[in-house]
Structure 1
Amino acid sequence: MTSTLLRCAPLAAALVLAATAQAGNITVKGSDTLVVLAQKWAETYMSKHPDTKIQVTGGGTGTGLAALQNKSTDLCNASRKIKPTEQATCIKAFGKRPTEYKVCLDGLSVYVSADNPVKELTVAQIADIFNGKTTNWKQVGGPDARITVYSRENSSGTYEFFKEHVLSGKDFAATAQTMPGTAAVLQAVAKDKHGIGYGGAAYGAGAKSLKVKKDEASPGVEPTEENVIKGIYPIWRYLYIYVNPALDKGDIASYLTWLRGDEGQQVVKNVGYFPLPKDLRK
C-alpha cells in the first residue's frame, strides 16, 4: 500500500501543478502608486473571468523588481523605468530582459493642505523646498511658517522619479518625514496646514494639488489629463508593468492585453490616472 502511494505521489503533484496553472493564478507586486489601480484592474477582470485569480500587493517599485528577479511574482508594477543594474539581475535570473509595458500616464502632483494659500510653484522652488534650501512658506509667497516636508521611502519608484526629475539627483532634506506610501503622504499633508508632499494624481482627496510652473516665465499648469497627455504639465510620467518574457503567455498575456485595451484603460480613468493614447494600446 505504501509503495503504491509513493508511486502515485509524483502524479498527484503534477496534477496539483496542472490545476494551479488552469486556475490562472497571477501574482502582482510593486509600486504603491499603482496598487489601488492594480487592485481595481484585478477586481474588474476577475468579475469577467472567474477562473483567473489575481493577487495584488504593494511594497514599492524596488521591492516589486526584486520579487520579479527572484521569481516570487509574475508581474511587477513600477512607477519608474527599470534601472540597468536591475535589468542585469533579471537577465542573470531568467536569461532575458523583462518585457516592459506602459500601462497609463500620471501627473506626479505636489500637494499642500487645502488651507494653504499658495497656489503655484516653479519646479526650482519645489526642488528647493524638498532639498531643504527653502524652509519657510514666506520664501515662496506663503505665510510665515516653517515648511514640513513629507516624502516616500527610498524603495519607492515615485521617490526615485521625483529625486531624479525634480531634485536633479540631489538628496532630500534631512528633516523630510518618510512615509510608507502615497496615501500616507496625502493623509499627513491634509492634516498639516504647513505640510507639502508629492504623489500620483489619483491620490489627491483631502489635499490640494499645486499648479506647477516650468520656470518663472511660464504659466502655472494643473495636472489634468489633457495637460499630462500633451506633455504640458512639467512633472508627468508613464507607469509600467514588467514581466519575465517566459511568463508572457496564456492568462498573463490575456490580462496584460486587457488592461492596456479600452476596458482596462477605462478603469484607469475611473481611478483617477490618465489613459494611454490610442497608439500605445497595442
Structure 2
Amino acid sequence: MAATRSTLHRLVVAGGVLALALAGGATGCSRPAGEAPRAVKVIQNIGSDTMVNLAQAWAEEYQQVAPDVSVEVSGGGSGLGIAALLNGTADIANTSRKIEPEESERLVAQNGRPPREFLVGFDAVAIYVHRDNPLEEISLEDLHDIYAEGGPLDRWSQLGVRHIPRARTDRIIRVSRQNNSGTYHYFRDVVCGKKTDFKLGSLDMNGSKDVVELVARTPAAIGYSGLGYQTPQVKLLRVSRKRGQSGVLPTVATTLDQSYPIARPMFMYTPGEPPEHVRRFLDWVLSPAGQKMVELTGYVPLKAPEVSP
C-alpha cells in the first residue's frame, strides 16, 4: 500500500507540473492583451477558364508570401470576369482576350475611370485529337473548313485519315467552347474570321478542361483548348498557317517567337487603379516568382526562362 500511495503521489505531482507547464505554454502562445487579430484582406479574382489553373496556383503560392491576403479564384469565362468588374463583385478579371471597347466604355461610365490592363503571360491554343488518331498536323485553312460556317470539311477521310481505332464514325466531332469564353472569341477570330460564325452542331463545353476530357473520351473528336490542359489521353497536333507548310508544335519557344500560329496573351484587369493590397499581388504575379508559376503550370511566361549553364 505504501508503494501504491508513493506512486500515486508521484503521479499527482507530475500531473501538476505538466498542467503548470501547459498553462505556461498556452499563456506564452496567446495573443497579448488588447491586440486585435490581423484582418485578412480578400481579393476576388474571377474570369477566364483558360487561366483558372494558373490563377489558383498563384493564389496558393501567394498565401505563403502574404498570409494576411486571401485570393479567391473562380472561372466561368473571360466575359463573366469582365461582367464581375462591372457589377463590383471582382477585384481582378482574368481574360484570355483584350477587353472590348464597349466593355471598357461601360466601366468608365460606371466607375468614372478606365480599367487597368496587366499583361501576365501567354497561352498557346492547342489543337487536340484523341491519342489514337493517326493525324499529326493540320493547317489553319483545314481548321477553318472544319469549324467555320460553310466550311466543307466534315469527315476525317477528307484529311487522309482512313481509320481511327474505336471510332464509330468517319464524321469529325467538333468540340468547342461556349460563347462567353475568351478562347471561343479568339479562336473564331483567328481561325474562322471575325465576320464568320462557327458551324452549328459543335459540342460546346463550359471549360477548357472539359474540352480536353471530351476529346480524350471520343476517338473521332477534335477540339481546341489551352496548352496547359494537355493530358496523356490526347494528342497535340502541329499547326501550319497554310496547307503544304510544315506544322509547328505549341511550346514556350514557338509561342514567344510567334512561329506557332494560335497563341495569345493573357490579361488581368482591374476597375481603375487597384488598391494597395491588390497592387502588391499583381506586382508579385509579374515578378520572377509569379512568372515561374506561369511556366510550371504549362503556360508561357512573359520572358523565356533562363537556362542554367
Contact 1:30–1:64 at 8 Å: present in 2 too?
yes
Are 1:150 and 2:167 counterparts? no
Q: What is the RMSD computed on CA atoms of the aligned residues?
A: 1.6
Whole-Å separation in 2 of the counterparts to 1:133 and 1:203: 29
Give the 5 Å matches for 1:110-259.
Answer: 110-131=127-148, 132-143=151-162, 145-169=170-194, 170-205=196-231, 206-246=233-273, 248-259=274-285
SS of the aligned residue for 1:245 comes to coil
Gaps of 5+ in 2: 1-35, 164-169, 305-309
- Of 108, 118, 126, the match for 2:125: 108
SS of the aligned residue for 2:239 comes to strand
Whole-Å separation in 1 of the counterparts to 2:178 and 2:285: 28
Contact 2:142–2:243 at 8 Å: present in 1 too?
no
Contact 2:38–2:68 at 8 Å: present in 1 too?
no
Q: What's the offset of the Cα at 1:133?
A: 2.6
Corresponding residue for residue 114 of structure 2: 97
Whole-Å separation in 1 of the counterparts to 2:115 and 2:281: 17
Are 1:54 and 2:71 counterparts? yes
Distance change >3 Å, CA 133–CA 102, structure 1 → 2: same
Question: What code does the residue aligned with 1:48 have?
Answer: V
Whole-Å separation in 2 of the counterparts to 1:65 and 1:219: 38
Whole-Å separation in 1 of the counterparts to 2:203 and 2:88: 33
Corresponding residue for residue 5 of structure 2: none
Q: What's the offset of the Cα at 1:245?
A: 1.9
TM-score, structure 1 normalization: 0.89
Contact 1:61–1:78 at 8 Å: present in 2 too?
yes
Whole-Å separation in 1 of the counterparts to 2:162 and 2:54: 36
SS of the aligned residue for 2:75 comes to strand
Whole-Å separation in 2 of the counterparts to 1:59 and 1:160: 14
Q: What's the offset of the Cα at 1:250?
A: 1.1
Whole-Å separation in 2 of the counterparts to 1:237 and 1:20: 43
Moved more, 136-145 or 158-167: 136-145
Corresponding residue for residue 294 of structure 2: 268
SS of the aligned residue for 1:258 comes to helix
Corresponding residue for residue 18 of structure 2: none
Whole-Å separation in 2 of the counterparts to 1:21 and 1:130: 53
Q: Deviations over 1:18-73 (max 9, x none)?
A: x9995221000000000010000000001221111110000100011011011110
Q: Deviations over 1:142-174 (max 9, x none)?
A: 126110001100000000000111111321121
Are 1:76 and 2:93 counterparts? yes
Corresponding residue for residue 35 of structure 1: 52
Gaps of 5+ in 1: 1-18
Distance change >3 Å, CA 20–CA 203, structure 1 → 2: farther
Contact 1:108–1:198 at 8 Å: present in 2 too?
yes
Q: How many residues align?
A: 259
Contact 1:269–1:275 at 8 Å: present in 2 too?
yes
Identity score, percent: 37
Whole-Å separation in 2 of the counterparts to 1:277 and 1:96: 30
Q: What's the offset of the Cα at 1:95?
A: 1.1
- Of 75, 82, 86, the match for 2:103: 86
Q: Deviations over 1:208-239 (max 9, x none)?
A: 11100111242110001100000100011001
Question: What code does the residue aligned with 1:92 have?
Answer: A
Corresponding residue for residue 6 of structure 1: none
Contact 2:128–2:237 at 8 Å: present in 1 too?
yes
Distance change >3 Å, CA 22–CA 250, structure 1 → 2: farther
Distance change >3 Å, CA 20–CA 179, structure 1 → 2: farther
Distance change >3 Å, CA 20–CA 29, structure 1 → 2: farther
Contact 1:211–1:223 at 8 Å: present in 2 too?
yes
Whole-Å separation in 2 of the counterparts to 1:82 and 1:141: 40
